[in-house]
Amino acid sequence: MNKIKFAIPAGSLGKATFNILQRAGYNISGQERTYRPTINDSRIELKILRPQEIPIFVSEGLQDVGITGRDWVKETGADVEILQNLEYGKIKLIVAIPKQSRKSSVSDLMEDLWSRGKNFRVSTEYLNIASEYIQNTASYKKRFGKAEPFMVTPWWKKGENSRAKIFLSFGATEAKPPENSDCIIDVTETGSTIDANNLKIIDTVLESSAVLIANKDALQNKHSKEKIYDILTLLKGVVDGSKRIHIFVNVKKINLQKLLDGIPALKNPTVAPLADKSWVSVNTIVKKDCFIRLLPKIRKLAQGIVVYEPRQVLALDVMRRDEKGCPTES
- The string of DSSP codes covering 49-64 is E-TTTHHHHHHTTSSS
pTM: 0.85
Q: What is the tens place of the pLDDT at every residue in 199-228?
A: 999 999 999 999 999 999 999 998 899 999
What percent of the chain is modeled with pLDDT above 90? Answer: 69
Instruction: State CA 164 to chain mean position distance.
Output: 30
* Residue 24 DSSP label: T
- pLDDT score, position 285: 82
- pLDDT-derived band at 326 (thresholds 50, 70, 90) equals very low
> What is the C-alpha to C-alpha distance for residues 293 and 68, in angstroms, rounded to an integer?
36
244-308: what CATH class? Answer: alpha beta
- pLDDT score, position 327: 43
The CATH code that applies to domain 92-208 is 3.40.190.10
Please give the span between the terminal C-alpha atoms of the chain, in angstroms, as a whole number: 31
Q: Is the pLDDT reported for residue 325 higher than 50? A: no
- pLDDT score, position 96: 97
Are 168 and 62 in contact by the 8 Å Cβ rule? The answer is no
Q: What is the tens place of the pLDDT at every residue in 265-286?
A: 556 788 999 999 999 998 888 8
Q: What is the mean pLDDT of residues 146-158?
A: 96
- pLDDT score, position 54: 98
Where along the chain do its domains lie? 4-89+209-241, 92-208, 244-308
The CATH code that applies to domain 4-89+209-241 is 3.40.190.10
| Strand partners for 167 | 123, 152
Check if 4-89+209-241 and 92-208 are the same fold.
Answer: yes
Q: What is the tens place of the pLDDT at every residue in 44-94?
A: 999 999 999 999 999 999 999 999 999 999 999 999 999 999 999 999 999
| Strand partners for 306 | 248
Q: What is the mean pLDDT of residues 121-144?
A: 96
